[in-house]
Amino acid sequence: MKTFCGRANPTTGSMEWLEEGEDYDYHQEIARSRYADMLHDKDRNVKYYQGIRAAVSRVKERSEKAIVLDIGTGTGLLSMMAASAGADFCYAIEVFKPMADAAVKIVEKNGFSDKIKIINKHSTEVTVGPDGDMQCRANILVTELFDTELIGEGALPTYEHAHKYLVQEGCEAVPHRATVYVQLVESRRMWSWKKLFPVHVEAEDGEKILVPPSEMENCPGVPSVCDIQLNQMPSSDFSTLSDVVTMFSVDFSKPVQSASTYYRVQLEPVKSGKAQIVLSWWDIDMDPSGMINCTMAPYWVKPTSALQWRDHWMQCVYFLPREEPVLQGEKLYLTACRDEYSVWYNLQKAREGENKADEEEHKADVPVESPVCRCRAHLLWNRPRFGELNDQNRTRQYIKSLRRVLKTDSVCLCISDGSLLPVLAHYLGAKQVQYMQPSRMDLYHPHEFFKANHLEDKIKIIEARPELLKPSHLEDKKISVLVGEPFFTTSLLPWHNLYFWYARTAVSTHLASNVTVLPQSASLHMMIVEFQDLWRIRSPCGTCEGFDVQTMDDMIKDSLNFRESKEAEPHPLWEYPCKSLSDPQEVLTFDFTKTVPQHCLSTEGSVKLLRKGKSHGAVLWMEYHLTADISVSTGLMQLANEQGNCEWNPHCKQAVYFFSSVIESQILSDPSAVTYAINFDTKTGEIAMHFKL
């Protein structure tokens, strides 16, 4: 079956209809899946195996047959562990058809076909009985249905159902229990992902302060989880206000309730400060004794043993509804509310002289509703974007360059999504400022923001796409300064923001002959890197705890090669340390002072590998040249040091192109080189690349 998907091309902005076979989604799902990452997660695998062995032994000690239910079997790994540990029979449930098919092959290849039955169903559809999917209820329940927030992948309703219909009372569960931990922190860096801080501008007539509308100030934000590699957050970027506290736990061996509820703990700050953020992570005990524990605790909590790197489970950042000044030693209540799939937090101060009995009173105050963005800005700006807008250094670069190009008679058009540039341009003295927000005017209307700053009649919002711009929108004037950050919410890969160039081309006839375009140009940069860990997510696994999972490797490889040219994928590299093996290299430039050319832009060349290491892939990013001597980078911020460590822009995702094979470069009198061919198709806005190692 073929389907037609309509979408606006993120780079060119034009509407296109893509014909996608049903294979497309499936290949995307497999290629971008976390299965490889899970199979590389040694700590997880070893502990599951230990927990499963212990559970099978406990059942056998009771002289019972060990009947296992493995919900979400994926590759079949946990069922194969159970069968090896002596389980009599395993029912392995997998809802995703391609995975269920793969599990059948893997189980067969490893010789367990007679012990493991793969059932391609959602667990809630599984039947029990003589004619059912399962002959009888299981007495061992094995699952791995957790995400970084623990419950976001639906573990609770799945367990609730399984206990009601699929397992025996008193069953053994692996994991046995999960516990969620929290720590209250103050962090300007993380708080800047939710709030817009005031922006200070030295204008011609004194200092101006740009403020967010009060609705935005008081908005609870969006409910989606903020999961990050917290281990990459330096301790200088936050200050812990409380000890680590156990928030709640779930015993998986007993009936589980998924209905909304809340948990409350009392806290005493160890330090005075501004409570803004709740950091959270969980651990799972694989057995009832708690001896086999797999934890996501970050480095400052678990400093001794080597941390297991993993991307499928990270840590959560929760934003309190508002900042709360707290005093060391004062009594606080932290509430975790949850529904079936997500968690959110609230902080309350205990009232003067309060005792246990008064606690009941607080229950009425417990906000059961999950955070919903009311100001709509959180729908337009994601968390990194908030961080970017709050980046004073970056703002300074824009102010400096605007100051350079604006004159008192400037007629300025700004094209970018949810941008502060029109306000800056106004304060810095442009005579007339127009603002065009090409995407998502329906999501967030900039009027509110301008109004909060008393600029609603100073900046004109043009509600038309660039190609529909008319002289009347501009009061019949020509644009003398065209500006963009550029930033568009539709961008996924760094070069998608080249949409600015297409918009610039579409408004060409409205530009004065001596127009200044800011940025005047952009360039695409590239560097070859060795990842500390990120390579795992795309690297074949071979065997996992002694089980042959090559079928899975082949399947992922197939999906990665599904499109003839492999694609680059976006990753925020501040979370994924890597070492540069080559110098950064400018590979393409895009001249915004001219229109987008008809022909493709292509380049070929080679990069020398200057450091010893494994070439896992190429990283690509954009730099914008605001004026001749002021540039902003969305990728590399600091040139690599001697060891090759790099500092990346913390607000942007970079493009990563994983090489299909890795070469190991040695020291280097005659350095090896990677040759590349990169082509920017100006018609489709796509960048295709080929590398040869």
User: Contact region for ligand SAH (CB under 6 A) — 66-74, 260-268, 455-463, 637-645?
Assistant: 66-74
User: Contact region for ligand SAH (CB under 6 A) — 71-79, 338-346, 434-442, 665-673?
Assistant: 71-79
| Among the listed residues 118, 99, 98, the one whose alpha carbon sits nearest the alpha carbon of residue 108 | 118
Contact between 71 and 156 under an 8 Å Cβ cutoff? The reply is no
143: which 2 tokens? 């699952």
Does the footprint of ligand SAH cover residue 394 (CB under 6 A)?
no
Contact between 263 and 336 under an 8 Å Cβ cutoff? The reply is yes
352 exposure class (CB count in 10 Å sphere: 0-12, 13-18, 19+): exposed
Which of 12, 73, 280, 432 binds ligand SAH (CB under 6 A)? It is 73
Which of 46, 95, 136, 663 binds ligand SAH (CB under 6 A)? It is 95
Does the footprint of ligand SAH cover residue 158 (CB under 6 A)?
yes
| Among the listed residues 238, 230, 222, the one whose alpha carbon sits nearest the alpha carbon of residue 282 | 230
Does the footprint of ligand SAH cover residue 72 (CB under 6 A)?
yes
Which of 54, 56, 69, 77 binds ligand SAH (CB under 6 A)? It is 77
User: Contact region for ligand SAH (CB under 6 A) — 92-100, 431-439, 570-578, 623-631?
Assistant: 92-100
152 or 584: whose CB is closer to ligand SAH? 152
Helix (H) or strand (E) holding 505: helix 499-506
Residue number closest to ligand SAH, CB atom: 72
Number of residues that bind ligand SAH (CB under 6 A): 19
123 or 582: whose CB is closer to ligand SAH? 123
The Cα–Cα gap between 672 and 666 comes to 9
253: which 2 tokens? 């061996």
3-state secondary structure 240-298: ECCCCEEEEEEECCCCCCCCCEEEEEEECCCCCEEEEEEEEEEEEECCCCCCCEEECCC
Contact between 88 and 64 under an 8 Å Cβ cutoff? The reply is no
Displacement of CA 19 from its chain's centroid (Å): 28
Which whole-number Å values give the CA distances from 285 to 44, 144, 159, 169, in the listed order?
A: 11, 13, 16, 20
3-state secondary structure 339-355: CCCCEEEEEEECCCCCC
User: Contact region for ligand SAH (CB under 6 A) — 5-13, 65-73, 188-196, 253-261?
Assistant: 65-73
Report in angstroms how near the CB of residue 557 gets to ligand SAH at its nearest.
18
Report in angstroms how near the CB of residue 653 gets to ligand SAH at its nearest.
24
Does the footprint of ligand SAH cover residue 123 (CB under 6 A)?
yes
The Cα–Cα gap between 368 and 536 comes to 39
Which of 55, 80, 81, 93 binds ligand SAH (CB under 6 A)? It is 93
4 exposure class (CB count in 10 Å sphere: 0-12, 13-18, 19+): exposed
Does the footprint of ligand SAH cover residue 419 (CB under 6 A)?
no
Q: How many CA atoms lie within 13 A of 94 on its CB side?
A: 21
Does the footprint of ligand SAH cover residue 388 (CB under 6 A)?
no
Specify whether 448 is catalytic. no
Report in angstroms how near the CB of residue 129 gets to ligand SAH at its nearest.
19
Residue 662: phi and psi, rounded to 5, are: -105, 135
Which of 30, 36, 71, 474 binds ligand SAH (CB under 6 A)? It is 71
User: Contact region for ligand SAH (CB under 6 A) — 75-83, 128-136, 200-208, 383-391?
Assistant: 75-83
Does the footprint of ligand SAH cover residue 74 (CB under 6 A)?
yes
Contact characters 618-657, ligand SAH, x per CB under 6 A = ----------------------------------------
Report in angstroms how near the CB of residue 620 gets to ligand SAH at its nearest.
30
Q: Which residues, numbered 509-528, are part of the site for ligand SAH (CB under 6 A)?
A: none
228: which 2 tokens? 């990050």
Does the footprint of ligand SAH cover residue 559 (CB under 6 A)?
no
Greatest Cα-to-Cα distance within the chain, rounded to the nearest angstrom: 90
Rg (CA), the chain: 28
Which listed residue (22, 64, 94, 144) is catalytic? Answer: 144
| Among the listed residues 486, 534, 184, 460, the one whose alpha carbon sits nearest the alpha carbon of residue 334 | 184
Which residues are bridge partners to 474 per DSSP? none
Does the footprint of ligand SAH cover residue 145 (CB under 6 A)?
yes
Does the footprint of ligand SAH cover residue 69 (CB under 6 A)?
no
Q: Which residues, numbered 35-64, are part of the site for ligand SAH (CB under 6 A)?
A: 38
Does the footprint of ligand SAH cover residue 144 (CB under 6 A)?
yes
Does the footprint of ligand SAH cover residue 122 (CB under 6 A)?
yes
Specify whether 647 is catalytic. no
Which listed residue (20, 108, 153, 545) is catalytic? Answer: 153
User: Contact region for ligand SAH (CB under 6 A) — 69-77, 313-321, 504-512, 558-566?
Assistant: 69-77
The C-alpha angle 540, 567, 538, rounded to 5 degrees, equals 15
Does the footprint of ligand SAH cover residue 148 (CB under 6 A)?
no
Which of 78, 226, 481, 518 binds ligand SAH (CB under 6 A)? It is 78
Q: Which residues bind ligand SAH (CB under 6 A)?
A: 38, 71-75, 77-78, 93-96, 99, 122-123, 144-145, 154, 158
Residues involved in catalysis? 144, 153
